[in-house]
């Protein structure tokens, strides 16, 4: 019997035979456990998600979802904790036992059951699970420490020319973690100037040098440089040939930037410890001098409105505390590649680097402004302050640091002269655009509760028969005064603010409900494609949300087609495969959207549990060229070899339709068959299209 002082472990019993289920539950309760039960694998999987039991007992052979399938679903769902699973089976053959362990079972117990033996197996499985959990926590703490230290480990197998290692090591080298990476691929982002350092180290290793210690620079995908220190130990065979090199890599960018104390003091503000005006000017000048790509960047200069009055009211000590708190906040809210400085008194500056577009800058400024405007706690009291902010953009406003800084100052002075509490671009037309983004964000926060967010549906048809097969759900914002706001405008705002989580949940629930309605009208083969954003896909409760939606609809789960982009799928491939396997276990279909625009490898594509790939419309548009046709043929042939269905998007002409039909494309989508439309219009379209 268990001690009554501790909270008893919760055990989930999944068994289709009611007598066995009742007896097992009764015995386990007798031994002091809490027990819940389910009568089949699918019901058991839902109960596991909802209740998170400490241990699972399940039968091998059950209806709807057998024990092996249920175990796989649970293992795919788990991200950190691994619940012990004991399989009850009357099958004693070796093949069935191996299948149980291959599926992820912890142990198995044969029927008929010995009740005392069952209790002992449960007891020791729970004890082992507790030990494993302690080990897992230790490993998690080690991984966190490595992440904090920006440290990763790696190993190069010289015989197979394959590199393996930790997620953090691959991230340091700017390479997606996957199997089959050669040393050349692993080192491909090292600056060309630094590659001879690597080549020299390997050459010395080939001559018997067993220790490696080198430093080099890596150009990351965002355009930033990281300084890496690499340590390695070389292992040789009897013939003194390299077998492998095992080592660590650490990001020492911050150490590299650290200056001597005298130099530090000459270039930093003594109160806030931020770089000073001289340091900021030199940094901007150096950055612009080395900018060969003319990538968009910006300088922000701002000061505190009415600071003299605030300083007089607070006193010198509290005034300094305000400036120090502001400096700490600036360091926290800016990106790692940006540069923050105090120019003097209450005047600060930020260099924003490597921007993709003006729109991205506007979004950053929006976040920057909101974070700055949060109150400060000075002497246990809230203090709200406002700012006059000026922005100048490279290369649009200036091509050198002196003029760029001068223009940002002019914009700041203009903001101050207009009463403060605002930001001004050096160019007035850009200022209007940024203010518009801020207004849109405020409106978007109320859009869901005001029923302004709608779901439109774009038809999809069978490529051969042109019979409707489904639709893709597309979110739209019907603004009360501006009309329909394009997704390209408001989706990035929703992503950057986190509002995309609630919007995505609304789209998922609405699209499934509407498709359920069309099924009830007799269109019983319609699928619904629903895009998952990167924020949605990485949220911890995604599978609970999908499970909840599936449980509360009569629409069979395989008609729900969840879509993620190729670049998102590959951003953390091994972890994402587990998430996709979990969604697959719930019963949903899976698609890779915008296929061909990312960087997936064929090996990883094969390992993803996907059903469909969607050819990006950029390839369809180019079908009138030999190059475009060649790319489309390659994608279609590859999909056919992997037994994947293919949806082609953006079809507008008969010629595009004919080409795709003749090359075994499965489903067509585009204005040729119907534009995105609200639910009622789509219902009318279904009625008309089926009578054509």
173 in Cβ contact with 151 (< 8 Å): no
Strand ranges inside 596-634, DSSP E = 612-615
Which DSSP category does 349 fall into?
E
Spatial CA neighbour of 514 closest among 380, 661, 404, 677: 677
Q: What is the pLDDT of residue 596?
A: 65
Burial of 196-205, coded b for 16+ CB within 10 Å and e otherwise, reads eebeebbeeb
The residue ranges of every structural domain in the chain are: 10-145, 151-256, 263-441, 496-689
Spatial CA neighbour of 50 closest among 544, 427, 529: 544
15 in Cβ contact with 35 (< 8 Å): no
The vertex-132 CA angle with 128 and 137, nearest 5°, equals: 150
Q: Domain 496-689 is in which class?
A: alpha beta
Q: What CATH number labels 151-256?
A: 3.30.450.20
Number of H helices, E strands in the chain: 27, 26
Burial class (CB in 10 A: 0-12, 13-18, 19+), 522: exposed
CA 503 – CA 492 distance, rounded (Å): 12
Average pLDDT for runs of 10 along the chain of length 692: 68 93 92 93 90 92 88 81 84 76 87 86 89 77 67 91 90 88 92 84 81 86 84 87 91 67 74 91 88 81 88 84 89 87 93 88 87 84 88 88 88 81 78 71 90 96 94 95 89 83 94 96 95 80 90 94 83 78 91 69 70 88 89 88 91 94 94 95 89 50
CA 57 – CA 37 distance, rounded (Å): 9
DSSP string, 169-228: HHHHTT----TT--HHHHTTTB-GGGHHHHHHHHHHHHTT--EEEEEEEEE-TTS-EEEE
225 in Cβ contact with 191 (< 8 Å): yes
Half-sphere exposure of 234 (CA within 13 A, CB side): 19
Question: Which residue blocks in 345-499 are alpha helix, DSSP H?
Answer: 358-372, 401-417, 428-447, 487-497
530 in Cβ contact with 473 (< 8 Å): yes
* Cβ within 8 Å of residue 333, ≥6 positions away: 367, 368, 371, 372
* Cβ within 8 Å of residue 197, ≥6 positions away: 214, 215, 216
CATH architecture of the domain covering 263-441: 2-Layer Sandwich (3.30)
- Dihedral over Cα of 546, 45, 611, 570: its sign: positive
Spatial CA neighbour of 214 closest among 237, 190, 186: 190
- End-to-end CA gap in the chain: 72
Q: What is the pLDDT of residue 692?
A: 46
pLDDT tens-digit readout, 630-670: 888 988 988 888 889 999 999 999 999 999 999 989 999 99
Q: Do 10-145 and 496-689 have matching folds?
A: no
Distance between alpha carbon 229 and the CA centroid of its chain, in Å?
28
Q: What is the pLDDT of residue 513?
A: 97
Spatial CA neighbour of 280 closest among 355, 325, 339: 339
CA 393 – CA 427 distance, rounded (Å): 9
DSSP string, 105-131: -SEEEESSP-HHHHHHHHHHHHHHHHH
Q: What is the pLDDT of residue 503?
A: 94
Pick the CATH number of 10-145 from 3.30.70.920, 3.10.450.710, 3.40.50.2000, 3.40.50.2300: 3.40.50.2300
Average pLDDT value for the chain: 86
| Angle separating helix axes 500-520 and 542-551, nearest 10 degrees | 20
46 in Cβ contact with 551 (< 8 Å): yes
Half-sphere exposure of 68 (CA within 13 A, CB side): 12
């Amino acid at each position: 019997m268990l001690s009554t002082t501790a909270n008893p472990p919760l055990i989930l019993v999944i068994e289709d035979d009611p007598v066995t289920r009742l007896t097992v539950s009764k015995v386990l309760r007798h031994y002091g456990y809490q027990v819940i039960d389910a009568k089949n694998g699918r019901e058991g999987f839902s109960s596991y998600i909802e209740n998170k039991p400490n241990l699972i007992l399940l039968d091998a052979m059950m209806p709807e979802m057998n024990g092996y399938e249920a175990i796989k679903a649970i293992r795919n769902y788990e991200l950190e904790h691994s619940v012990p699973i004991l399989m009850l089976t009357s099958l004693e053959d070796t093949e069935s036992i191996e299948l149980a362990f291959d599926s992820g079972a912890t142990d198995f117990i044969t029927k008929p059951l010995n009740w005392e033996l069952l209790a002992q197996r449960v007891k020791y499985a729970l004890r082992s699970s507790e030990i494993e959990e302690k080990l897992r926590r230790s490993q998690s703490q080690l991984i966190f420490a490595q992440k904090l230290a920006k440290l990763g480990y790696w190993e190069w197998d010289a015989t197979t020319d394959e590199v393996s290692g930790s997620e953090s090591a691959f991230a340091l080298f700017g390479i997606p973690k996957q199997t089959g990476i050669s040393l050349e691929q692993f080192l491909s982002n090292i600056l060309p100037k630094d590659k001879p350092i690597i080549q020299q180290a390997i050459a010395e290793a080939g001559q018997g040098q067993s220790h490696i210690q080198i430093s080099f620079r890596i150009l990351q995908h965002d355009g930033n440089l990281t300084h890496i220190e690499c340590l390695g130990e070389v292992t040789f065979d009897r013939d003194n040939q390299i077998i492998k090199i095992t080592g660590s890599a650490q990001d020492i960018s911050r150490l590299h930037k650290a200056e001597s104390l005298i130099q530090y003091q000459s270039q930093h503000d003594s109160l806030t410890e931020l770089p000073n005006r001289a340091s900021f000017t030199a940094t901007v000048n150096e950055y612009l001098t080395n900018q060969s790509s003319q990538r968009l960047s910006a300088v922000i200069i701002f000061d505190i409105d009415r600071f003299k009055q605030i300083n007089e009211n607070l006193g010198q000590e509290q005034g300094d505390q305000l400036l120090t708190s502001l400096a700490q906040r600036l360091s926290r809210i800016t990106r790692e590649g940006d540069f923050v400085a105090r120019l003097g008194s209450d005047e600060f500056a930020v260099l924003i680097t490597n921007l993709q577009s003006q729109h991205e800058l506007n979004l950053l400024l929006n976040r920057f402004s909101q974070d700055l405007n949060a109150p400060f706690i000075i002497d246990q009291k809230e203090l709200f302050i406002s700012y006059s902010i000026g922005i100048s953009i490279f290369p649009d406003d200036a091509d050198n640091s002196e003029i760029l800084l001068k223009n940002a100052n002019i914009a700041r002075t203009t903001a101050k002269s207009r009463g403060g509490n605002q930001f001004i671009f050096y160019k007035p037309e850009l200022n209007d655009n940024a203010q518009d983004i801020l207004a849109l964000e405020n409106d978007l926060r109320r859009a869901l509760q005001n029923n302004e967010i709608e779901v439109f549906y774009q038809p999809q048809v069978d490529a051969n028969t042109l019979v409707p097969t489904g639709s893709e759900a597309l979110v739209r914002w019907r603004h009360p005064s501006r009309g329909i706001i394009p997704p390209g405008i408001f989706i990035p705002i929703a992503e950057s603010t986190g509002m995309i989580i609630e919007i995505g949940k609304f789209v998922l629930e609405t699209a499934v409900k509407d498709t359920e309605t069309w099924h009830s009208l007799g269109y019983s083969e319609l699928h619904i494609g629903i895009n998952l954003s990167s924020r949605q896909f990485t949220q911890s409760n995604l599978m609970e949300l999908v499970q909840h939606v599936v449980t509360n609809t009569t629409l069979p789960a395989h008609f729900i087609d969840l879509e993620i982009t190729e670049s998102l799928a590959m951003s953390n491939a091994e972890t994402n495969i587990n998430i996709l396997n979990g969604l697959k276990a719930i019963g949903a279909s899976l698609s890779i959207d915008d296929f061909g625009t990312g960087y997936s490898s064929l090996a990883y594509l094969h390992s993803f549990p996907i059903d469909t790939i969607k050819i990006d419309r950029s390839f369809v548009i180019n079908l009138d060229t030999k190059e475009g046709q060649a790319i489309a043929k390659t994608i279609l042939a590859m999909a056919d070899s992997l037994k994947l269905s293919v949806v082609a998007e953006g079809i507008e002409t008969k010629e595009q339709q004919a080409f795709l039909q003749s090359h075994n494309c499965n489903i067509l989508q585009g204005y040729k068959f119907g534009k995105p439309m609200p639910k009622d219009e789509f219902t009318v379209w279904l009625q008309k299209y089926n009578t054509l």
